[in-house]
Amino acid sequence: MEAFDKFYKKTVEERRAVLAEYANLNEEEQAFLASTGALSLDKANHMIENTVGIYSLPLGLGMNMLLNEKKYVVPMAMEEPSVVAAQSSGAKLIAQNGGMKGTATDRKMIGQVELINVPDVHVAKEKVIASREKLIAIANGAHPSLQKRGGGAVDLQVRTAKTVSEETLFIVHLLVDTKEAMGANMVNTMVETLAPELEILTDGTANMRILSNLVDEATATVTCRLSPLSLATKTQSGEWVRDRIIAAYEFADADIYRAATHNKGIMNGIDAVIMAFGNDWRAVEAASHAYAARTGSYKPMSKWSKDRQGYLVGELTLPMPVAFVGGSIGIHPIASLSKKIARVESAKELAMLVCAVGLTQNLAALKALVTEGIQRGHMSLQAKSLAMTAGANAHEIEQVAQFLQESKQLNVMAAKAYIATLRSKK
């Protein structure tokens, strides 16, 4: 990892050279990084309807991640300044404290069949449960290749829920081990295949037949533990910083307005990795927020506390419906590159890494917020964004950003006026 020392100080070309060596990238892969749209227009045209172009984002590398004793370079696709920098500094602090520990459950996706107009819910429930094995076999018949890969439908559960008009809904959950895939299509095919048999058994009508994005049977958990000493700043003791971070967590736990922002900071990291890996970030967002509200009230996704030795302990558990194969992963060249860069080998490992990035982001944000505030660290990148918004060209950006920071005028008007002055001098 020494090759990555002071990575942020290198030019884009120097960084690419370091990465090419580290990840053993061939010429084609290096060319993908050098292009502004690694995805070809031809592929893009086959991915969605009415394609007119390609939308690109910066791809950055988060440094210093240590998870389960393994070092990672983390690819992150992100438009927001400071997220990658926060990742590297937060991960460095956590690595100095022994790194992140992670676990992941076996991955079971949930398919739902909603049955309406079921005349006798109790009878229907008994019949469905008695036919469990047969129903699972029908579901697996719809996707035999998944069973050959060691996965497939593994369980079936019956749930009920009440509508506002007190009507009882009859819901069947099919649990599917999708192995390395996210499996949305497989699960949807299975529940559609199962629905007619469920209609016969329940005497009801199948209405909704679709995957649930609350994948609480496929979670990853990460934890970290930091000594107070490592949290100290020039002016604040480590114990003070630790207690303020815990207080920030308690604020999020008590107040939904703060919980939303606390969780947004976590998703800053999570989404960036999910995007870099060509995964479905809407699925991960939906799963994470639903999980945060699973008790009935919306809560912070992470928890910060202190242990008996006075160490700060951070924990994050989230459903993580990531895919390691399938979907756009095999299509988008950057998604395949991300696998090589991160040296991740399975969906479970990716799920843990994504959560580790989320918790790291959260620590970095909370530490900055309770100490110097978030704006100072953001200033230089924010100034660059403003310079670009105001129309500065590549060789003017640095100069304009420097002016904005020094004159403490972080606004587009000041940037435009300064650009005009610069140009008039030429």
Active site residues: 80, 264, 280, 378
365 binds ligand MEV (CB under 6 A): yes
For residue 399, the minimal CB distance to ligand MEV (Å) is 27
CA 101 to the chain's CA centroid: 17
Neighbour count for residue 103 (Cβ, 10 Å):
15
Q: Say if strands 302-306 and 59-67 run parallel, antiparallel, or are unpaired.
A: unpaired
Pick the closest to residue 251 from 237, 240, 242, 262 (CA basis).
262
376 binds ligand MEV (CB under 6 A): no
Query: Which of 43-51, 110-118, 200-208, 364-372 is the region at the interface with ligand MEV (rule: CB under 6 A)?
Result: 364-372
- In this complex, which beta carbon is closest to ligand MEV, that of residue 214 or of residue 368? 368
For residue 80, the minimal CB distance to ligand MEV (Å) is 6
268 binds ligand MEV (CB under 6 A): yes
For residue 1, the minimal CB distance to ligand MEV (Å) is 27
Residues 143-182 that bind ligand MEV (CB under 6 A): none
> Which tokens is 157 given?
């559960």
Q: Which residue is nearest to ligand MEV (CB)?
A: 265
DSSP structure class, residue 167? P
Query: Which of 167-175, 361-369, 385-393, 412-420 is the region at the interface with ligand MEV (rule: CB under 6 A)?
Result: 361-369
The number of helices, as runs of H, and strands, as runs of E, in the chain is: 17, 10
**Which member of 132, 159, 264, 282 binds ligand MEV (CB under 6 A)?**
264
379 binds ligand MEV (CB under 6 A): no
- In this complex, which beta carbon is closest to ligand MEV, that of residue 134 or of residue 264? 264
**61 with 75: CB under 8 angstroms?**
yes
Q: Say if strands 101-104 and 219-226 run parallel, antiparallel, or are unpaired.
A: antiparallel
**178 with 107: CB under 8 angstroms?**
yes
265 binds ligand MEV (CB under 6 A): yes
Pick the closest to residue 316 from 359, 262, 361 (CA basis).
359
382 binds ligand MEV (CB under 6 A): no
For residue 162, the minimal CB distance to ligand MEV (Å) is 36
Tell me, by CB under 6 A, how many residues bind ligand MEV: 10
- In this complex, which beta carbon is closest to ligand MEV, that of residue 82 or of residue 140? 82
- In this complex, which beta carbon is closest to ligand MEV, that of residue 72 or of residue 249? 249
Specify burial of residue 10 (Cβ count, 10 A radius: 0-12, 13-18, 19+): middle
For residue 239, the minimal CB distance to ligand MEV (Å) is 21
**Which member of 105, 131, 261, 305 binds ligand MEV (CB under 6 A)?**
261
374 binds ligand MEV (CB under 6 A): yes
For residue 338, the minimal CB distance to ligand MEV (Å) is 22
Residue type at position 344: V
Name, in order, each residue with C-beta under 8 angstroms of 420's C-beta and a sequence gap of 6 or more.
none
- In this complex, which beta carbon is closest to ligand MEV, that of residue 268 or of residue 360? 268
DSSP structure class, residue 330? G
Q: Can you name the residues that pair with 325 across neighbouring β-strands?
A: 181
Query: What's the rounded Cα separation, in Å, for the pair 58 and 154?
Result: 40
For residue 365, the minimal CB distance to ligand MEV (Å) is 4
**Which member of 107, 179, 209, 262 binds ligand MEV (CB under 6 A)?**
262
Tell me the per-residue interface mask from 69 to 98 with ligand MEV, x by CB under 6 A, - otherwise.
Answer: -----------x------------------
Say what the alpha-carbon torsion angle 410, 414, 416, 419 is, to the nearest 10 degrees.
-100
Query: What's the rounded Cα separation, in Å, for the pair 217 and 119?
Result: 30
> Which tokens is 244 given?
């303020």
Q: Which residues in this chain contact ligand MEV in the complex, by CB under 6 A?
A: 80, 261-262, 264-265, 268, 365-366, 369, 374
